[in-house]
Structure 1
Amino acid sequence: MLEYFLVFLGAAIPWIEIMLVIPLGIIRGLSPVWVMILSFAGNMATIILLIIGFQQIKDWIERRNKKKGKGESKRRKQGEKIMNTYGLPVLALAGPILIGTHIAAFIGLVFGANKMTTLIWSAISIALWSLVFGILTAMGFDFFVSRT
């Protein structure tokens, strides 16, 4: 039971997320179905918290940047260009493998995406990638175990 809780917790932590937690849980011998479900739930829990607290986080970052005398960064301009070119769906779908789900959701919100739309696309992306990582790991692990 503790290992399943750790799967949930690991998936909730930015930069660890589903891409690492799902393969590790399955290789550890946990049920692939439960690993995928709990990873999805853990990752979504923190996405929901991010969306709820977005304005406070954004205000804090802006105050910090003003204090340091920073203007608009190159990264922000580049992020805005990506968001305007490809939109929230591509950002959300590519997020788990490129920059992480939390950062993808935050970037989308910073550049004007609706909170509910961000939540929906994040859920679709996390569900899709949970299935991909889970199925590929389970299939690959079965392949190697049955060969030895």
Structure 2
Amino acid sequence: MNETIGYVMAFILAATPFFEMVAVIPLGVISGLDTIPVTIVAFVGNLITVIIVILMMTQIKAWLQRRREAKGKEGSTKRENRAKQIWQRYGLFGLALIGPILIGSHLAVIMAMSFGGTKKKMTVYMTSSLLLWAIVTAVGTHLGVEFFMFDRN
């Protein structure tokens, strides 16, 4: 039962914006969950919310615009500027690839679609990017845990 709660928590945390699966996978493995199942659960949790953001982008853009107008803000935030620099330098694919690590996958989707990315391309690129980062994180975490847990007697 405890293990099930761990996997549910990994899913929920990975699905939470700004608490990415690249943080959840190591936490899950270090807490005793198996690497492959926690990686799959975290990937699916992160991917589901990213797809929801992609599908609801029209509503999100309208909400962000109303929020900015209400606060009277016109300038860009630090994260927005970083995303725009990545976009200008590497395009949609670069933002989808680098975004989950630098600014978060959810914000990367919002930024990329605001800069002109399409729903179809964003879905393909973000799915690929999240899968790549899930594998890299899982392998790195597994090897790191094995290295540090190795009995050196």
Letter of the aligned partner of 1:91 in structure 2?
L
Letter of the aligned partner of 1:113 in structure 2?
G
Q: Distance in 2 between matches of 1:25 and 1:59?
A: 36
Letter of the aligned partner of 2:104 in structure 1?
G
Letter of the aligned partner of 1:140 in structure 2?
G
Q: Which runs of 5+ in 2 are unaligned?
A: none
Aligned match of 2:51 in 24, 28, 48? 48
Q: Which runs of 5+ in 1 are unaligned?
A: none
Q: Distance in 1 between matches of 2:104 and 2:131?
A: 14
TM-score, length-scaled by structure 1: 0.91
Letter of the aligned partner of 2:38 in structure 1?
V
Question: In terms of mean alpha carbon deviation, does 73-82 or 17-26 score higher?
Answer: 73-82
Aligned match of 2:13 in 1, 10, 15? 10
Q: In 2 relative to 1, CA 18–79 (structure 1 residues): closer, same or farther, beyond 3 Å?
A: closer
Partner of 1:33: 36
Larger relative contact order (C-alpha < 8 A, sep ≥ 6)? 1
Query: Displacement, 1:46?
Result: 0.4
Q: Distance in 2 between matches of 1:101 and 1:2?
A: 24
Q: Distance in 1 between matches of 2:101 and 2:50?
A: 16
Query: Any idea what SS the aligned residue of 2:40 has?
Result: helix
Question: In terms of mean alpha carbon deviation, does 78-87 or 129-138 score higher?
Answer: 78-87
Show CA shifts across 1:108-142 (max 9, x none). Answer: 01111001111111111110010111111111111
Q: Distance in 1 between matches of 2:50 and 2:81?
A: 23
Query: Displacement, 1:86?
Result: 1.4
Query: Any idea what SS the aligned residue of 1:21 has?
Result: helix
Work out the percentage of aligned pairs sharing the same amino acid: 39
Query: Displacement, 1:65?
Result: 1.9
Query: Any idea what SS the aligned residue of 2:150 has?
Result: helix
Letter of the aligned partner of 1:28 in structure 2?
S
Aligned match of 1:64 in 49, 63, 67? 67
Query: Displacement, 1:78?
Result: 6.2
Query: Displacement, 1:145?
Result: 1.1
Letter of the aligned partner of 1:29 in structure 2?
G
